[in-house]
């Protein structure tokens, strides 16, 4: 029997899971890692194991891409026998991707306790796939570990018992703080031919890149911004395909937008740390920019991480070209406040999670021994 069965499947999951796996061993817990293969490209998966010091997965489901229904179904059917094989005390899921929900559904129906790392985040956009995933996962989970205090309010308002919720901080920030020096030492900007000052751009969310009108407006805004400051654009495979499908490659080619392939974690973190500001639709980048003190222009209509707006460097600009341009001007000229690091984003979230789960598991084992 394994104490913790930790599930990861997509790029952000690895940074969030690594501190839990590391802290579990120090807390005396055995653990196993299941990689669902939701992200299967080497630049979005394999490189993170090497850079984060993650162990090789104990199981790799290899599900690949597909529609939400196809991918979720494949993860569920592949995960079920692995769950029975490892027979864990607790299944640990992170984030809000399809892997998170699929494995939570299987674990709940097999009556295994679930611990959700990064619980309670809400953007209140019911059409966003991640919002559906995170809501359902939270209601299936026994232990809900939150990154900010507002998450508890979200969960309690949905009827989740307060005793199931614990504010522990942000495991993604654990990884950032541990990796920042190594990321800067790699000299990614120089190696990639990027000269400061520059802005950084990331786009990957389906609601942005699958809609030709929205993607066109965002690229138009980026083209105009690049007239004032070069933009470095690590191109997600999905976004790359949509740009070609919509005939938008010319907007990049005639601008000062420097396209790069998908980058590993350390190279991306190094570029972010040295950027003038970042334009992004990524939730994780909003958090990372806040801790690094980098102005962040979020290319979405809402955010599930309001703490990065209230305390950090983040401004939610929306997706309209003129709004993005206006907020980018503020970021470019550093007119916003410096922000502060949110409470408990101190590099010890993984320790708090492992300590709580160890307490629960050892208590159950003691009860079982006493009753034997």
Kindly list the catalytic residues. Answer: 204
DSSP per residue, 313-367? SEEE--S-HHHHHHHHHHHHTT-S----PPTT-SS-HHHHHHHHHHHHHHHHHHH
Q: Is there a contact between 294 and 273 (Cβ–Cβ < 8 Å)?
A: yes
CA distance 199 to 361: 46
CA distance 219 to 225: 10
Q: Is there a contact between 299 and 208 (Cβ–Cβ < 8 Å)?
A: yes
For the beta sheet containing 59-60, the strands, ordered from the edge strand earlier in sequence to the opposite edge, are 59-60, 31-35, 4-8, 90-94, 114-119, 143-146, 165-167
CA distance 92 to 114: 6
Q: Look-up: residue for tokens 């000229």?
A: 333
Q: Is there a contact between 295 and 313 (Cβ–Cβ < 8 Å)?
A: yes
């Amino acid at each position: 029997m394994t104490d913790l069965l930790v599930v990861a499947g997509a790029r952000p999951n690895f940074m969030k899971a690594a501190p839990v796996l590391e802290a579990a061993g120090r807390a005396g817990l055995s653990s196993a890692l299941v990689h669902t293969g939701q992200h299967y490209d080497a630049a979005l998966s394999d490189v993170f194991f090497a850079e984060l010091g993650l162990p090789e997965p104990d199981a790799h489901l290899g599900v690949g891409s597909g529609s939400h229904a196809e991918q979720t179904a494949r993860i569920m059917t592949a995960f079920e026998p692995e769950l029975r094989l490892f027979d864990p005390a607790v299944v640990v899921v992170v984030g809000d991707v399809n892997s998170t929900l699929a494995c939570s559904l299987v674990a709940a129906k097999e009556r295994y306790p679930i611990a959700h790392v990064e619980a309670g985040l809400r953007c209140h956009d019911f059409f966003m796939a991640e919002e559906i995933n995170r809501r359902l996962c939270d209601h299936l989970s026994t232990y809900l570990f939150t990154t900010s205090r507002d998450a508890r309010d979200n969960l309690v308002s949905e009827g989740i018992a307060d005793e199931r919720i614990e504010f522990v901080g942000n495991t993604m920030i654990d990884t950032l703080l541990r990796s920042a020096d190594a990321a800067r030492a790699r000299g990614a900007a120089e190696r990639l031919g990027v000269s400061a000052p520059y802005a950084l751009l990331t786009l990957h969310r389906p609601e942005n890149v699958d809609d030709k009108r929205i993607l066109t407006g965002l690229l138009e805004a980026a083209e105009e911004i690049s007239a004032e400051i070069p933009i470095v654009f690590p191109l997600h495979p999905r976004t790359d395909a949509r740009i070609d499908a919509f005939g938008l490659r010319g907007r990049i080619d005639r601008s000062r937008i420097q396209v790069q392939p998908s980058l590993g974690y350390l190279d991306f973190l190094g570029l972010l740390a040295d950027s003038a500001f970042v334009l992004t639709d990524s939730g994780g980048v909003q958090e990372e920019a806040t801790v690094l003190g980098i102005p962040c222009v979020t290319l979405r209509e809402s955010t599930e991480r309001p703490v990065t707006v209230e305390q950090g460097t983040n401004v939610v600009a929306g997706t309209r070209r003129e709004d993005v341009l206006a907020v980018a001007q503020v970021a470019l000229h550093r007119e916003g406040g410096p922000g502060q690091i949110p409470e408990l984003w101190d590099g010890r979230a993984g320790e708090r999670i492992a300590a709580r789960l160890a307490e629960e598991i050892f208590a159950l084992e003691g009860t079982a021994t006493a009753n034997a």
